[in-house]
Structure 1
Amino acid sequence: MLSNLRPHSIRARFTLVSGIISLIVFAVIGTGLDLAIWTRIQDNIFKETERVATDWIGSLQPGAPYPPVLKTRINLLQLVDDQGKVVAASTAAAGQSPLSTMRPPNDDRISHGTQCTTRDGCLVLTAIRVPPLETQVLWQGQPHFVYAGMAEPGMLSTHELELLTSAGVLAAAALAAWATWWVVGRALRPVAMIRAKTAEITVSDLSMRVPEPPGCDEIAQLARTSNKTLARLEAAVEQQRQFASVVSHELRSPVAGLHTQLEEALLYPTDVDPMKTITTALSTTERLQAIIDDLLVLARIRSAPPAAPEPIDLGALITEEVATRVHGTPVRTHTTGRVTVLGNKIQLIGVLNNLLVNAQRHADTSVEVTTTRTSDHAVITVTDDGPGIAPHDRERVFEPFIRLEDGRRRDPGGSGLGLAISRAVITAHHGTIEIEDSPRGARFVIRLPLIPAGERTAAMVRTS
């Protein structure tokens, strides 16, 4: 039930919280201010009544006391004996009963207070005991008391002060709530624009971007991050579309050829050799299976979460793999000490085998593999002495199903996915693979980040 009453808007929530907190804070401030003003007014009246009463006491003479002549707002003044009889009084207090029964304590001759009656309302009073010396001279030691006061000001008696303070508290809290509503609304305005633009973005059109507000606050950073995410998403979707188009095109040809062969065998059973048809169909299905397996490997590398990396000595890895290649063009290796990276050993072996197979296929006499290191990268170079790759084709060969004419001639059954898989693996290892200039043949260069010195020592301890 309470959750339904809670505002759903962030703007409304902030405004409500700000209004409640402001109301509490201003209420505390208003209460303190009200008490301070109320006390200040009373203190001023008490000081004035005390001064008026003291002045009258100082002017008393032996005999019948004369009524005081008042020139201040303190208009109530009475001289009362210890029997409660009014001996003398000001004009406003004449003919009245004693203003108060309040008597100063024995240890203090002055008392302040407020006296309220149903008939006269409330009076702010000061009661002063006449000093013993004056009492002895004037009344033979009989105690007398002077009462000085005035009607309680309307600001105190009618609760006008409390009403004004309450109105000020409410006005201040309302102003704080409105300011919060305005400030939060202005701050969230870019969020509303981002939300509206995001609602317009669909899978069919990922080219739109959300508006980026100026500045470097959290909302601006969110907008920039969202646009970067949209750019990556657009690139991924476009890559997926191109990949699907290429895959469908590459699979259509062998499937169409297989369909044609089987259809001819059914339509012309006497003219078609069934064994030849089956052999050709089996070869076609093997090619389809190879393409599908490579596609699965490529998709798994791009989408599956990476396996836990392990420290790999590239020099030892290359030496072991080259030693297993006893057939084909000779492969020479050159390594420079221990070069350790973090990675997936099986995937890196697959990349190395793919490059060695390509190099041996196109080499004339030899293949050379070297491992070196720079300040922060391990560098693997695979070079052959074959015809090489033209500069304008050096990026194309890493695209799926791209096969140059020389490659089709040397390996008609290839899928055209080997280099695409190799680049995907190296990219997943935060490295690069490129084809660089070479005096003769093709020169593939792989760069992988080295393990930092501290991590390298820890890795050597774990593997030892």
Structure 2
Amino acid sequence: MRVTVAATVIMGCLLSLGLVGFYLVLHWTLQDQVSQRGREALYDLAAIVRLHDPRGEDVLRTQVDGFILLQSVDDQDRVLAASAPLAGYPPISQLRPSRPGEIVSEHLTVRGVRNKIYVSATRVRARAGWRTVYAGAPEYSYTPVQRLLAASLGAGVPLSMLVMAWLVWTAVRRALAPMRTMSSELAAISGGEPYGRVSVPGGHDEIAQLGEEINLALMRLQRTVERQRAFTADVSHELRSPLTGLRAQLEDALEHPEDEQWPVVARAALDDADRLQRIVADLLLMARLEAGVQIERRPVDLGELAREELALRRGEVPIELSAEPGVVVLGSPDHLRRLLVNLLDNAEHYARSRVWVRVRAPEPRAAELEVLDDGPGIAPEDRERVFLRFQRLGGTRRREHGGTGLGLPISRDIAIVHGGSLHVVDSEQGARLLLRLPLARPPDR
């Protein structure tokens, strides 16, 4: 409604201004033409009076069409000669040019003539003295045009405004129809319809782009909701097991306190508490990573980081390191160390006899950290499943695994936060996990 009213008012104002401007230009043009023709008629009449100084009625004529009101008047205001329409009339005007050759004009009304008269006058020296000659024409030539324009202003502008209002109303209503549809669909989605989408109109205009962006946002929201639901279900399951076990142990010990060895009970409870602590710590880290919390970044040498971590480990499986010098990335040392620890823990858990760590820069702008073991490996159909939360694959185990099932998912999140990737790739034996990160600077060769 606002657009329609504004467009109609603006259209009406512009149309009215245009018609008024056209009328004024036409009026000035016609006036100029009449004035020019009046001077021509006056020149003809002055030449006749100068040469012949005629006397009588119906004796004056000119070659200019329309100028039929002609008079020759002496200085005593006596009409000496006139054209037929002014026969018997006194002087048509009281104009008196102040000097010879000067032309003066005026618009006046003459008794007996319906329209206004345009009259031009000049002074002429005749044989018997000075004469004032008049040449006039009725202004009927442009009166019909005035009436036509007045009628156009009176009827054309309102009619044009009505047509304009209908066109704008129809066009805007049709343009906003997809918006109303999307609004009702969004209301239904927010009212409880799960995983809904809005209708995207055809074409490539702004409304179609808006519909695509809304659907993209709804798809992201759906993924987030599904992830939160799965995460909540997994967390409740993982936390329920140690909490249930801890409660059962303590309740059983309290029922028969005299038969229990309390140091053993305390150590078992402490193991469950440690597992709970690891799960909670991992969940908090994942929450920070997914929330996009900014991390402090500084140059980190991946080879030096691996050497420092291997020097601190006292595992049962030997680990061999092969690292090129100067493979530096920008990132958080703590996060990258956590990623490496998770990969090494996973490799040690499944390895039969050995683990290999390789750090290199195969491309000018890419760094790679590879962890390989000689265990049973990971089947191709499970290579993405291992990065899901709380997923544990079967296989030969060297010892009971005390992990939380969040190590590899956290490692991939850390890689993504650092602008890289983490995948399981093909290998001749065992599992091979490949981390790729952007280099901070090209390596020294």
Correspondence for 1:355: 343
Give the Cα–Cα distance (whole angstroms) in 1 for the partners of residues 149 and 167 of structure 2: 27
Cα deviations by residue, 1:296-315 (Å, 9 ceiling, x for unpaired)? 11111111423243333322
Give the Cα–Cα distance (whole angstroms) in 1 for the partners of residues 9 and 100 of structure 2: 49
In structure 2, which of residues 92, 103, 124 is the aligned counterpart of residue 99 of structure 1? Answer: 92
Instruction: Give the conservation status (yes or no) of the 8 Å contact 1:56–1:68.
Output: no
Give 1:230 shift.
1.7
Give the Cα–Cα distance (whole angstroms) in 1 for the partners of residues 153 and 73 of structure 2: 39
Correspondence for 2:56: 65
Counterpart code for 2:346: N
Give 1:291 shift.
1.2
Q: Secondary structure at the match of 1:380?
A: strand
Cα deviations by residue, 1:257-281 (Å, 9 ceiling, x for unpaired)? 3333344445555666665544433
Q: Secondary structure at the match of 1:142?
A: strand
Counterpart code for 1:415: T
Correspondence for 1:425: 414
Q: Does 1:82 align with 2:70?
A: no
Correspondence for 1:207: 195
Q: Secondary structure at the match of 1:238?
A: helix
Instruction: Give the conservation status (yes or no) of the 8 Å contact 2:60–2:71.
Output: no
Instruction: Give the conservation status (yes or no) of the 8 Å contact 1:310–1:344.
Output: yes
Give 1:413 shift.
2.6
Correspondence for 2:427: 438
Moved more, 312-321 or 226-235: 312-321
Question: Structure 1: 5+ residue runs without aligned partners?
Answer: 1-8, 458-464
What percentage of aligned pairs have identical amino acids? Answer: 35
Change (3 A) 1:370 1:68: farther
When normalised by structure 1's length, the TM-score is: 0.80
Give the Cα–Cα distance (whole angstroms) in 1 for the partners of residues 12 and 396 of structure 2: 81
RMSD of Structure 2 on Structure 1 (CA): 3.6
When normalised by structure 2's length, the TM-score is: 0.83
Give the Cα–Cα distance (whole angstroms) in 2 for the partners of residues 181 and 374 of structure 1: 64
Change (3 A) 1:116 1:289: farther
Give 1:394 shift.
2.6
Q: Secondary structure at the match of 2:411?
A: helix
Cα deviations by residue, 1:144-185 (Å, 9 ceiling, x for unpaired)? 222412155673897764553475555556655654444444
Give 1:401 shift.
1.3
Give the Cα–Cα distance (whole angstroms) in 2 for the partners of residues 78 and 16 of structure 1: 58
Cα deviations by residue, 1:207-250 (Å, 9 ceiling, x for unpaired)? 22222233333333332222222212211211111111111112
Change (3 A) 1:365 1:281: closer
Give the Cα–Cα distance (whole angstroms) in 2 for the partners of residues 342 and 116 of structure 1: 97
Q: Does 1:33 align with 2:22?
A: yes
Equivalent runs, 1:165-314 vs 2, <5 Å: 165=153, 168=156, 179-202=167-190, 204-267=192-255, 276-314=264-302
Q: Does 1:322 align with 2:315?
A: no
In structure 1, which of residues 342, 346, 368 is the aligned counterpart of residue 330 of structure 2? Answer: 342
Change (3 A) 1:297 1:42: same
Give 1:196 shift.
2.8
Give the Cα–Cα distance (whole angstroms) in 1 for the partners of residues 30 and 374 of structure 2: 106
Change (3 A) 1:434 1:64: closer
Correspondence for 1:112: 105
Change (3 A) 1:72 1:396: closer
Counterpart code for 2:410: I
Question: Structure 2: 5+ residue runs without aligned partners?
Answer: none
Give 1:385 shift.
1.8
Change (3 A) 1:442 1:86: same
Give the Cα–Cα distance (whole angstroms) in 2 for the partners of residues 452 and 93 of structure 1: 107
Cα deviations by residue, 1:57-94 (Å, 9 ceiling, x for unpaired)? 55665563222588965554333333333344445444
Counterpart code for 1:344: S
Cα deviations by residue, 1:409-464 (Å, 9 ceiling, x for unpaired)? 723432111111111111222322122222222211111233477xx99xxxxxxx
Give the Cα–Cα distance (whole angstroms) in 2 for the partners of residues 283 and 323 of structure 1: 26
Moved more, 372-381 or 274-283: 274-283
Q: Secondary structure at the match of 1:79?
A: strand
Change (3 A) 1:271 1:452: closer
